[in-house]
Amino acid sequence: MTLAERLSEYVRACFTGIWVQSFEHDDAIVEIARLCRQRRWSLATWDIDRGLTVVGRDEASDTAVSAPDPLAAIKAIGSLATPEGTALLVLRNFHRFLGSVEVVQALDTAIAAGKQNRTILVILSPVLQIPSELDRQFVVIEHDLPPREQIQQIARSIATEPGELPGDEGLGAVLDAAAGLTRVEAENAFSLSLIRHGRVTPDVLWELKAQTLKKSGLMTIHRGGETFADLGGLDALKAFCRRSLAGKPSSSQARPRGVLLLGVPGTGKSAFCKALGNEVGRPTLILDIGALMGSLVGMTEERTRQALRIADAMAPCLVFIDEIEKGLSGVQASGQTDSGVSARMFGTLLSYLNDHESDVYFVCSANDVSKLPPEFTRAERFDAIFFLDLPGSREKEQIWNLYLEKYALDPSQRKPSDRDFTGAEIRACCRLAALLDVPLKEAATNIVPVAVTAGESVERLRNWAAGRCLSADRAGIYTRGSDGTGKSGRNVQRADPSVN
């Protein structure tokens, strides 16, 4: 439903206190004014700069009244009332004045009186900050960001010359890039693209969108050029994600949800997520759990909801949460350590993972499963849980070839013993060989594998994953082999469910 449709229902039902959360005040007021003209309702607007303005039946008959005082604006709504009509007063950015006891009391009085004379107070604000005294007096409406159809109309109104707007396939990429922008931001981005390139391209839209995310402080957008070709091994994981994200699902209820990557540090969990976005043509948003924590009461929960709203607005997209067990490690003791803030944030995230209908694909990585709450890994939170073990001999050969070529090293030279190496350690060996100008075997003497320094933790993680997770390298359930590396297959003796 549009803003006008929802507002019409509440006004006709005589809700006299309405809070409209919007980042586009001018567009919201235009929509409200259009509704009032259709319904023949009286309308006035107020802000601290222009004071009170009575909106006429046509745009040329608006009347400005000098009333910069917020108290005077609230009391002026009584003069708008008519015996048989309805009057709306829209207060822009009025959340700034709700710290005043007099203003809060005047709002309470005006909302109560509005039931008798059908006068409606509408607060237009980008944030939701309702004082506890007025909490039950207001109903909240969100002014949605523009849908794809409206963004396409904006693009066509700006790119009017032949060749400035791409064809159907390219236009889809442009609309995906513009998702999550306001109407004004989309107009600015299209105009900048025309000035810079002479045509509308997704690159400029992604540039401005990255700035928008940076200003929020909650997410960043990854714009690297990695692909699966830059990542050795992980064949089963690559195939699963590529297939689940390719094309459209047969049912709207069958949208992909995401994957949880559990594994030894350095096995490519973060690199995989960054490559996945480019491989399937989706932006990768990086969500830092620590950035959601706020110092004030309720701030953490609001930041979490805001981050998830941003993800919905950016759909279709990927959301990557790295080392999520560190952000959720204090959930079980949250009531004793932080008054339940972490538990409430975690509950919001769990509900979203289970219930969201937007095309947002979550990829979460973890190194220590013992710190993850058990409810986080249940079915329908993720499509699958993959275990990334130390690469096998075939995968290691692929990784060596990738980094020998990347660092321009002689591929014929003898390689060091790599039995305990992860992909990150193979890369470090090649980088050090190029940096120090020494053979690979000599460069390897500077590296102590994580499978050695944290051998007990790695073994504990492998033992837990056996029979519980899918293998990232080969199709099937992950299981331990006699040589200490992970093997996969369908014929697996599952562990007793009581110990899972």
Tokens (6 digits) for 359: 């095309």
Q: pLDDT, tens digit, for every residue of 401-425?
A: 999 999 999 989 999 998 889 999 9
Q: What's the pLDDT at 238? A: 92
Q: What's the pLDDT at 498? A: 38
User: Mean of the per-residue pLDDT values for the chain?
Assistant: 84
Q: pLDDT, tens digit, for every residue of 200-224?
A: 988 888 888 778 777 777 888 887 7
Q: What's the pLDDT at 64? A: 56
- What is the average pLDDT across 437-458? 91
Q: pLDDT, tens digit, for every residue of 94-107?
A: 999 999 999 999 99
Res. 486: pLDDT tops 50: no
Q: What's the pLDDT at 140? A: 93
- What is the average pLDDT across 135-157? 89
Domain boundaries, the chain: 3-142, 148-216, 228-388
Res. 358: pLDDT tops 90: no
Is the preceding omega at residue 316 within 30 degrees of 0, hence cis? yes
Q: What's the pLDDT at 499? A: 38
Res. 340: pLDDT tops 80: no
Q: Give 333's pLDDT tier (boundaries 50, 70, 90).
A: low
Q: Give 494's pLDDT tier (boundaries 50, 70, 90).
A: very low
Q: Do domains 3-142 and 228-388 have the same CATH topology?
A: yes
Q: What's the pLDDT at 295? A: 64
Q: What's the pLDDT at 403? A: 92
Range 3-142 has CATH code 3.40.50.300? yes
Q: What's the pLDDT at 342? A: 74
Q: What's the pLDDT at 225? A: 81
Q: pLDDT, tens digit, for every residue of 20-33?
A: 999 889 999 999 99
Res. 349: pLDDT tops 50: yes
CATH numeric code, 228-388: 3.40.50.300
Q: What's the pLDDT at 1? A: 78
Q: What's the pLDDT at 400? A: 93
pLDDT over 90 for what percent of the chain? 33
- What is the average pLDDT across 132-136? 90
Q: Give 66's pLDDT tier (boundaries 50, 70, 90).
A: low
Q: pLDDT, tens digit, for every residue of 215-258?
A: 777 888 887 788 888 888 899 999 999 998 886 655 556 788 89
| pTM for this entry | 0.72
Q: What's the pLDDT at 166? A: 84
Q: pLDDT, tens digit, for every residue of 179-208?
A: 878 888 889 999 999 999 898 988 888 888
Nearest-angstrom CA–CA distance, 489 and 479: 8
Q: What's the pLDDT at 470? A: 92
Q: What's the pLDDT at 105? A: 95
